[in-house]
């Protein structure tokens, strides 16, 4: 009798757990597709392009200065003393080493700027997703890119776009599969 009661309680627990899982709504969306439609994203892209150009122009200016310094060194080295040549050579070597890390420095600065400028957009999108999930009763929202199988009815992208006041993108109908 004890085994029967224990078994009945276990089955009731499993059945109750299954009902809880089934009661939770799960949705998904592509955040990247929504961000592209946001007007703020176009402004960020413009700012990032301008920033990247200024970084590269600055690097080109530094490279030009270095090239000029090297040319001047070779031109004037015949009239320099050995100790002055050594000092100038070490100074040029230091500048060359600095320039060799310039590309990585530019990439780091650019990535920092991208994160800084993208953060408000990501926060705005996250707030809209939270509101839609709460209003529509979704317990979980996943990125569409992480899912292999997904029912079209659970795509909340249009709800989030509507919440943000964005236009729906042109429909993307998949090409028919040829047999």
Q: Measured between alpha carbons, how far is 47 from 59 in angstroms, rounded to an integer?
A: 18
Q: Is the pLDDT of residue 65 over 80?
A: yes
Half-sphere exposure of 110 (CA within 13 A, CB side): 17
Q: Measured between alpha carbons, how far is 156 from 173 in angstroms, rounded to an integer?
A: 18
Q: Which domains does the chain have, with CATH numbers?
A: 26-164 (3.30.910)
Mean pLDDT of 107-114: 96
| Range of lowest pLDDT (39-48, 49-58, 79-88) | 79-88
Cross-strand bridge partners of residue 140: 26
Q: Is the pLDDT of residue 144 over 70?
A: yes
Amino acid 2: pLDDT: 52
Amino acid 46: pLDDT: 96
| Range of lowest pLDDT (11-20, 75-84, 110-119) | 11-20
SS3 content of the chain, % helix, strand, coil (to 5): 75, 5, 15
Q: Measured between alpha carbons, how far is 107 from 113 in angstroms, rounded to an integer?
A: 10
Q: Measured between alpha carbons, how far is 127 from 160 in angstroms, rounded to an integer?
A: 10
User: How crowded is residue 129: how many other Cβ atoms within 10 Å of its Cβ?
Assistant: 22
pLDDT over 90, % of the chain: 60
Total-model pTM? 0.69
End-to-end CA distance of the chain: 61
Q: Measured between alpha carbons, how far is 116 from 113 in angstroms, rounded to an integer?
A: 5
Amino acid 38: pLDDT: 95
Amino acid 3: pLDDT: 53
Mean pLDDT of 14-33: 72
Amino acid 66: pLDDT: 92
Contacts by 106-112, CB closer than 8 A, 24 or more apart: 106/52, 106/55, 106/56, 106/59, 109/55, 110/48, 110/51, 110/52, 110/55
């Amino acid at each position: 009798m004890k085994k029967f009661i224990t078994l009945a309680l276990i089955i009731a627990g499993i059945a109750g757990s299954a009902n809880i899982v089934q009661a939770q709504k799960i949705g998904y969306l592509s955040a990247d597709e929504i961000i592209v439609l946001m007007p703020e994203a176009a402004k960020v892209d413009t700012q990032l392009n301008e920033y990247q150009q200024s970084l590269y122009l600055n690097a080109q200016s530094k490279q030009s200065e270095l090239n000029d310094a090297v040319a001047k060194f070779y031109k004037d080295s015949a009239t320099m003393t050995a100790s002055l040549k050594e000092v100038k050579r070490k100074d040029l070597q230091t500048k060359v080493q600095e320039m060799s890390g310039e590309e990585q420095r530019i990439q780091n600065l650019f990535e920092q700027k991208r994160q800084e400028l993208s953060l408000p957009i990501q926060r705005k999108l996250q707030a809209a997703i939270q509101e839609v999930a709460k209003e529509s009763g979704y317990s979980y929202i996943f990125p569409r890119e992480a899912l292999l199988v997904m029912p079209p009815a659970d795509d909340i992208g249009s709800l989030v776009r509507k919440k943000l006041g964005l236009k729906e993108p042109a429909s993307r109908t998949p090409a028919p599969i040829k047999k």
